[in-house]
Amino acid sequence: MDSNLNFGVDPSKRILVTGGAGFLGSHLCEKLLGLGHEVLCVDNFFTGRKENIAHLLGHPRFELVRHDVCLPLYVEVDQIYNLACPASPAYYQRDPIQTTKVSVLGAMNMLGLAKRVGARVLQASTSEIYGDPRVHPQTEDYTGNVNPIGLRACYDEGKRCAESLMFDYHRQHGVEIRVIRIFNTYGPRMASGDGRVISNFIVQALAGVPLTIYGDGSQTRSFCYVDDLLDGMVRLMDASPGVTGPVNMGNPAEITVFELARRIIEMTGSRSRIDRHPLPADDPCRRKPDITVAGKLLGWQPHIPLDEGLQKTIAYFRSTLAQRSDAPAPVLETTA
């Protein structure tokens, strides 16, 4: 076991998860409960969904609080996972000013809380801070190729500022921080109309409507199944003091958007065709994480191959869409 991991300590902690009713947050709440922790789930349900955490409401170590992280929160906790923020273009471009506020004010409020109570805080950052990268694969020391005034800037720049705040609070106040840069992650509980490429392709394929590709489909993405991502996230939070990050986490297996569409059509048995539309502004052409740091510091690497993860995700959408026969086909806003 890597010396940076402290899994021998008492695992019973009170842990705050902001954005805990979202796709990643709800899975994280489940995982932390399974590890024996008390979990305080905070969400304002702007993009989070109550059905994601409904099965946890009766758990004796789970508590739900409806709260906007743009406002201060006064609780006693040992650790804070700050996941609160719309994470897909369809959502974060709906109210870009609020998106920036959530990233910046939310980080400030969680850091203020961590400072007051002596908690460790993990910031869920993103591969989007690299912009449309000129370095491939992306390493943590790459500072990015970003557009600070584009349509995606509310999210990209908000997350970049949140990282700055994390390290300033660490340097100035000694707050224990962890920064994870999350690459494309997928799995059950993704929202059907959130603008992410895997969920949209699956929903479109199951509905028998055309799969929408932007550009010629040659742009690449790397997809990490949610269980692998959460394992890395918890490893980073529980690493020895001094392991601040940033740490890339994602699956470095790269695939073109066109090949992903073709594979999902095949796996769903769909007769959908593929339609092409103009590429949105600032959409990255290539995206692939270099996860060397995560391997060295945390002993982490993803294990679930894309086809296995897609099978689980397709099964989830088959089930949920069968219960919502009136669910409309989503409008794909990006290839994120």
Residues serving a catalytic function are 155
Say whether 312 sits in a helix, a strand or coil. Answer: helix
Contact 133, 287 (CB under 8 A): yes
Q: From residue 237, how far is each of 195, 211, 298 by CA, in Å?
A: 29, 38, 10
DSSP code, position 239: B
Contact 257, 221 (CB under 8 A): yes
Tokens matching residue 245? 């990050």
Measured in degrees and rounded to the nearest 5, phi and psi for residue 306 equal -55, -45
Contact 225, 272 (CB under 8 A): no
The total number of residues shown for the chain amounts to 336
Residue type at 118 in one-letter notation: G
Contact 205, 272 (CB under 8 A): yes
